[in-house]
Amino acid sequence: MGTMVTMSEDRRAEGQSDQSPWDMASGAFIAWRAGDASAVDELVAAMTPVLWHVVRAYGHDRQSAEDVIQATWLGFVRLHQTIEDPQAVASWLITSARRGAAAHARTARRAAPVEDETLHAVLPDAESAEAIAQRDDEAARLWGAVASVDERCRKLLRVVAFMDRPDYQSLSQELDMPVGSIGPTRARCLAKVRSALMGGGAR
Amino acid sequence: MTTDDDAALLEELRAVWTTYDPPPPGLTQTMIAAVAAADLDAEWEMLVLVRDSAHEPLAQVRGLATARMLWFTAAEGWSMEAEVDGDQVRGQVLDLDGDMGTVEVTVETADGRSWTTGVDEVGFFAITAEPTGSVRFTVRIGPTSSSSRWVEL
């Protein structure tokens, strides 16, 4: 996990599943910059699922989420030269996706005001939840608990869960929370999930 | 609750989201294709190094030993000559139609420093820089920009 992987041989030799997507991303990015043209595919493969969760946390439907992710990658192609620290490529992508998601949410809201309740209904995918519930009771309980907490908490937790190094400064602007309150809010939201789990009746 | 517990719970939540709201099946492939297409476009716009005095021993014999001459062409049809001599980078943007007032030339070193200047009405530019190691040129014309690959000095 914590080992630095910079050479592309190492990157390939290593069982990739052992590595976090963020480590895989920086390894691939470094290799790509060093001239390994195919490494960018690995970078995209490692980070696209992470970006999916980050963007979906903002309540976008699946098609909009895909649009935001594509815009993020196109921006990356245009601006990757400005990324000074290759180790930070994952953070750069996540930040860019979050900004895109937040901006998309603002324009979408201007175009068609969406009631909070509608957004609420969009997030937990009740159908697949039930389908999978039968297979994995523990995960289902957790999913139910997450679904029961408020939208703000769910969004914060989902973004933070998929962030490499949570950057509270920029998060605070997008989530419209003071910087100092994100840590405590995160803890409070996790506590809510826990108590929903204990309560059993998650919904 | 300790932060360790919080981290463990966040990790479980990550697994739950991964299970319950996975990316659509072809998403990664779609993005790989999008990046490949965009990257090709970007390369198409690049400044291509077509001649380099370092590969022309005759130039050194003629007394240009301290100066390095580089010739680039851009896909749009214009070209650029640059001469790197000590801390002076001089050159000219050629065959470019349009307003020279919007053209900017940037010299960048691999350690992250850069120097930018405009060009005069016939495309001449002169920059005092510290070009050492590898340098890269970027020509910005209004909203578009074309960069060269890194050139080892």
Give the residue range(s) of CATH 1.10.10 domains in chain A: 125-203
| DSSP category for residue B60 | I
Tokens representing A39?
Answer: 């490494």
CB contact under 8 A, B112 and A84: yes
Name the residue ranges covered by the structural domains of chain B.
3-43, 46-152
CB contact under 8 A, B9 and A194: yes
Pick the CATH number of A125-203 from 1.25.10, 1.20.1060, 2.30.30, 1.10.10: 1.10.10
Q: How far apart are CA A82 and CA A98, in angstroms?
A: 18
B46-152: CATH architecture? Sandwich (2.60)
CB contact under 8 A, B31 and A69: yes
Tokens representing A49?
Answer: 């699922």
CB contact under 8 A, A139 and B42: no
| Concatenated DSSP letters of A178-196 | -HHHHHHHHHHHHHHHHHH
CB contact under 8 A, A49 and B18: yes
Confidence of residue B41 (pLDDT cuts 50, 70, 90): low
Strands (E), chain B: 47-52, 67-74, 79-85, 88-94, 103-109, 114-118, 124-128, 134-141, 144-147, 151-152
Please choose, from the candidates B81, B116, B74, the residue with its C-alpha nearest in 3D space to the C-alpha of residue B97. Answer: B74
Pairing of strands B144-147, B134-141: antiparallel
| DSSP category for residue B138 | E
Distance from CA of B30 to the nearest CA of A (A): 9
Report the percentage of chain B scoring pLDDT > 90. Answer: 38
Write out pLDDT tens, residues B110-120.
787 899 999 99
Nearest to A142 among B6, B12, B36 (CB): B12
- ipTM of the prediction: 0.74
List CB contacts (< 8 A) between B11 and chain A: 161
Helix (H, G, I), strand (E, B) or coil at A167: coil
Total beta-carbon pairs less than 8 A apart between chain A and chain B: 99
Write out pLDDT tens, residues A84-133.
888 889 989 998 999 899 888 777 665 554 444 444 444 444 445 555 55
Write out pLDDT tens, residues B76-93.
778 999 999 999 999 999
Long-range contacts of A29-32 (CB under 8 A, 24+ apart): A29/A80, A29/A83, A29/A86, A29/A89, A30/A6, A30/A86, A31/A7
Task: Give contacts of A 36-55 with B, CB under 8 A.
Answer: 40-41, 44-45, 48-49, 52-53
